[in-house]
Amino acid sequence: MSDEIVNKVAKAQIEQIDLKDFLFKGEIKEIDLKDQLWNELVLKESDFRAWVKEHDWDSYSDQVVCVFCSADAIVPAWAFMLVTAELKDPKKVVFGSKKDADKQLFFEAIANWDVSDLTDKRVMVKGCSDIPEPNQAYVEFTAKLLPVVKSLMFGEPCSAVPVYKKR
């Protein structure tokens, strides 16, 4: 009888994927139009245009920028358009808060991921990741993988839940 410890997970050749790896890791700059409202209620066009003219737009170059208004106010659509038009070569512009931008970038990363290297492989999707909209993420991830993988499991190698096996 051998006392050698055998790593059955490594022998099984299971590709482990953590959806947390698809989270955006860079900085996201916010532009909250609330700060440009009069009494956090109304946007005065002349004051707003003066702010737009004086603001340092170069600091948003090559950055992910989210544009939103956190105040419960009616902001005209042209105000968001004007701000977006002033940005100097941003990496990406997202309407919404940082949380909205994180979510959008996360799902774009999944959608743009090339899964061809997983063709006919056994894949384990790690559970318990701190990700935006986990159920939506697992649904979109599963739909992306089904056409290529040999099998798909959820959880950890020690307690995997089989999800799909190619017939």
Main-chain phi, psi angles of 57, to 5 degrees: -80, -20
Is the confidence at residue 65, as pLDDT, over 90?
yes
**139 falls within a domain:** yes
Q: Which domain holds residue 159?
A: 8-24+114-165
Tokens of 138: 């697992």
Confidence grade of residue 17 (pLDDT, cut at 50, 70, 90): very high
Confidence at residue 167, expressed as pLDDT on a 0 to 100 scale: 86
Closest to 90 in 3D by CA, of 58, 62, 52, 66: 62
Bridge partners of 32, per DSSP, are 68
Q: What is the band of 10 on the pLDDT scale with cuts at 50, 70, 90? A: low
Q: Are residues 92 and 140 in the same domain?
A: no
Q: Which long-range contacts (CB under 8 A, 24 or more apart) does 157-165 make?
A: 157/9, 157/12, 157/14, 157/16, 157/124, 160/124, 163/125
Q: Tell me the two tokens of residue 102.
A: 């994180």
Whether residue 9 has pLDDT greater than 60: no
Look at residue 157 and tell me whether its pLDDT is greater than 90: no
Pairwise CA distance, residues 166 & 148, whole Å: 9
Domain shared by 20 and 34, yes or no? no
Higher-scoring residue by pLDDT: 37, 4: 37
> How many structural domains is the chain composed of?
2
- 66, two tokens: 């989210």
86 in the same domain as 145 = no
Q: Are residues 40 and 20 in the same domain?
A: no
Instruction: Give the model confidence (pLDDT) of 98-156 as tens digits.
Output: 999 999 999 999 999 999 999 999 999 998 778 999 999 999 999 999 999 999 999 88
Residues 95 and 118 in one domain: no
Q: Are residues 19 and 39 in the same domain?
A: no
Token readout for 76 is: 């005209």
The reply to whether 33 and 69 lie within a common domain is yes
The confidence score (pLDDT) of residue 53 equals 97
Overall average pLDDT of the 58-82 stretch: 96
Distance CA 60, CA 27 (A): 11
Query: Average of pLDDT values for 5-19?
Result: 76
